[in-house]
Amino acid sequence: MTIDSAANAWPLKRRVTLIGALVNLVLAVAKVIGGILAQSQALIVDGVHSLSDLASDVLVLFAARYGSLDADHNHPYGHARIETLATLAVGVVLLAVAAGFLLDASSRLLLGQDMIVPGQLALWVALGSVLAKEAMFHATRRVARRTGSSLMLANAWHHRSDALSSLVVIVGVGGAMLGLIWFDALAAAIVALMLAWVAWKLLAGASLELVDTGLSRKELAVMAATIDGVAGVRGFQDLRTRLMGGQVLVDVQILVDGQITVAEADLVADQVRQALIEQLPGRADITIGIRPAGYNRAP
């Protein structure tokens, strides 16, 4: 199920983001205090990571609010690109976090730094963080799917990045307590590479949207067959698509019999629009022009 109105999607986005911000605040305090008491440098750093998530939540809340505003005279297609820009920013943050993890893991593997055996308290705090952040990942991803928001999906993966970083703490602390100190750095490096891949996908998707990349050739072929399959359509011209904040914007000129009335031609256009909406449920903004069959554009 996808919500077709940006304004209707805003309450869902606001609620899940505010809950996530509260969770990040509680976890940040718990990790820093727990890290100090348990003498776990990894947990303290993870607490700082949670504080960075708070800043990300503020960014997401701002972008989701203004990205949900209706179209106006300055933004006739709406404000969804604000979400796209924020998605790009979240992707950059994730990439920076991944780079930090990878550098830290590399220094520990190559130089043998930070080889400290922490207390068990670090394990329990990190475990609580994994459970809380994994729950926030699934909750935020559900909202992302329901609203078609790439920004919410990016923030969901940001929650999972915190869960993965806490998982690294668990592996690292457990390995250190068992004498496998190097295992902490190896696990951190693997998770850093996973985060970098997620960040790259977010950055690539947002960048393609910002430069008005359209649907794939396969998707366009299916759309073309849908248009040609509507009764009364004699062909089409200038089929163009682009992505904007989870929506697909479609512009097409359909060709109809030049002898039919304007009302009949408009009915054919409505049928084409409905057919395309069914193909792209809840995420399509379709503009259809009408031309007589045999029409040739001026060179």
pLDDT in tens, 76-88: 666 667 777 777 8
The domain boundary, picked from 195, 210, 225, lies at 210
Question: For 247, left (φ over 0), alpha (ψ -120 to 50), or beta?
Answer: beta
The predicted model scores a pTM of: 0.61
46 has a pLDDT exceeding 60: yes
The predicted-structure confidence for 110-136, as pLDDT tens digits, reads as follows: 776 656 666 788 889 889 989 998 999
26 has a pLDDT exceeding 80: yes
2 has a pLDDT exceeding 60: no
Is 16 domain-assigned? yes
Is 297 domain-assigned? no
Is 298 strand, coil or helix?
A: coil
The domain boundary, picked from 210, 229, 263, lies at 210
Is 264 domain-assigned? yes
CATH number at residue 270: 3.30.70.1350
Is 36 domain-assigned? yes
pLDDT of residue 111: 72
Strands 236-244 and 247-256: antiparallel
φ, ψ of residue 234 to 5 degrees: the values are -105, 15
Residues 115 and 188 reside in one and the same domain: yes
Residues 81 and 156 reside in one and the same domain: yes
- Do the Cβ atoms of 158 and 93 come closer than 8 Å? yes
Is 1 domain-assigned? no
Q: Which residues pair with 50 in a beta bridge?
A: none
Domain extent for 281? 217-292
